[in-house]
Amino acid sequence: MTEFNYRHIVRLTVPMIASLVLEQLIGFTDIIFLGRVSETAVAASALGGVAFLLFAMLGFGYAVAPQSQMALENGRGHPRITGHIFSQSLYALGLLCLIIFGLSFFAPQAFDYLVEDAAIRDASMAYFLWRTAALPFAFLCIALRAFFIATLQTRLLTVSSAVTVATNCVFNYVLIFGVGPIPALGIVGAAVASGIAEIATVLLFLVYLKRSGDATRYGLWLFSAWDARLQSLLIVRGRWTMLQEAIVMTAWFLFFVWVEHLGQEALAVSNIVRTLADLPWILMHAFAATCG
């Protein structure tokens, strides 16, 4: 029995590892493309990217709670309750998205205060604001990924991540450097490309849900009234993960702010090193999410 459990965990985890590795390639491709633009672009993507992740990972941290609750109800054979939890998580993520949009209006003042180099400040702020514009799709991706993990459909995540990376690479090239009538947007193009990649992933998930019948079986789009009791349970379970993600990303953001005062080259190198250093986290997170 124990051997079966280990094999089952590995079988579920390997697709998740593959999907996370593929998604990590987005960071690599962004650096590769932006490296051909300028050192400033690579450096600015560090600050702008981590500032975006500081908010995006709040949604990721929250999604751990509905994911575990959906897995519990799915294991009990309650598909409609599983779908109810999913739809309620969309309410919470939507509310969080509105709060983040409100906070983003103060981004110019924050970057002006924290970032010394004017070129890096303007570029990182532009990257952050354009990435934040696509936050609803990022949160929808997070919610759908949580659903697929909870219902043990992890193989789909590998396919979706491949689509995300491919879409991101194509639009990175087109929007960063410009093709034909499309102007070269530089670092803004990288941010827009990431948003388009997230939209493509959401569309893939929605098509799969429709064709597989899961949307009907689980009643994913049968939105009911705000369930205060369930929302309270999810917040209680997810708050510490949200706090953990916020602390981690805040630490990285402050680190990059301090490094920025050493110069563009130091910040650009730090961005590359951080991207490479994420690999051990990918392996640990994949196993933790599967076991959870």
| 103 part of a folded domain | yes
| 236 part of a folded domain | yes
| 218 part of a folded domain | yes
Residue 274 structural domain: 12-291
- Residues contacting residue 222 through CB under 8 Å, at least 6 positions apart: 80, 83, 84, 87
| Count of the separate structural domains present in the chain | 1
Write b or e for each residue in 229-252: b if 16 or more Cβ atoms lie within 10 A of its Cβ, otherwise e. ebbebbeebbeebbeebeeebeeb
| 39 part of a folded domain | yes
> Residue-wise pLDDT tens for the chain (292 aa)?
444 466 666 666 666 666 566 666 777 788 889 988 988 999 999 899 899 989 988 998 899 899 999 999 999 999 999 999 999 999 999 999 999 999 999 999 999 999 999 999 999 999 999 999 999 999 999 999 999 989 988 888 888 888 988 999 999 999 999 998 999 999 999 999 999 999 999 999 999 999 999 999 999 988 889 999 999 999 999 999 899 889 988 998 999 999 998 888 899 888 888 877 776 666 666 566 555 5
Residues paired with 179 in a beta bridge = 182
**Structural contact between residues 198 and 136, judged by C-beta atoms closer than 8 angstroms:** no
| 7 part of a folded domain | no
pTM above 0.75, yes or no: yes
| 143 part of a folded domain | yes
